[in-house]
A = this chain, B = another copy of it.
Amino acid sequence: MKTIVVCSGGLDSVSLAHRVADEGGLIGLISFDYGQRHRKELDYARTCAKRLGVFHDVIDMRAVGSKLTGSALTDDVAVPDGHYAEETMRVTVVPNRNAIMLSVAFGVAPARQADAVAIAVHGGDHFIYPDCRPDFIAAFQAMQDRALDGYASVRLLAPYVNGSKAEIVTDGALHGTPFAETWSCYKGGDLHCGRCGTCVERREAFHLAGVDDPTAYEDPEFWKAATEGFKAEEVR
């Protein structure tokens, strides 16, 4: 299947790109610049496309991003520290982000002669992000089947949708993903901060997968306290 991977440059989507490339189906990557403060990750997506020898479409959606207010990823709102699945992480939601990115990808796919679009949503996203859940993925495919009826047939692949981020690390390692060449931190500084939700989630995933984490964090130990605090809260 000729597949375009939606690739942010993060650990999940770069691992997915390597997996699809290994399976022989990768034809290109598509990335979205929606004015996120961690735009640095786009450089990692570009590097990934070069490494895998495929095209890289970067879609400038900053005009759209500026209209989607209320997220700590695009606005002048502080990115919270803590565990990724906490209620406080709701401020990192960009409303309708995946629906927007996927519909653009499904518009690009026929022009690129692709018959599949792959996205790296995973089980750990489900608490906070409704547009990462299995029922969203199924409903999106159903919508697209109607929108492109008679013009194109494009499948939406989400192989990690029921897995954990630790399983992505395991899978990424299996397919030779150079994890140091991926970016997660929402704050977009020189190093991964180690304190924001996605840094804590990243560090925890390597730990659970038993894979060496090559990432340099500003605060490499914070994740333990955040993870334990989150578990204690869940028990209450």
Contact = CB atoms under 8 A, between A and B. Distances in A.
Contacts of A95: 107, 110-111, 148, 151-152
Contacts of A97: 107
Interface string A108-137: 101100000000000000000011010110
Given A99-B144, A144-B99, A146-B136, A64 B67 contact: no
Q: Taking chain A's interface residues, is the majority helix, strand, or loop, or is none over half, making it mixed?
A: helix
Interface in A73-104: 93-100, 102-104
A171 interface: no
Contacts of A140: 143, 147
Interface of A: 57, 59-61, 63-64, 67-70, 93-100, 102-104, 106-108, 110-111, 130-131, 133, 135-136, 139-140, 142-152
* 5 shortest interchain CB distances as A-B pairs: A96-B107, A130-B149, A60-B63, A136-B146, A139-B143
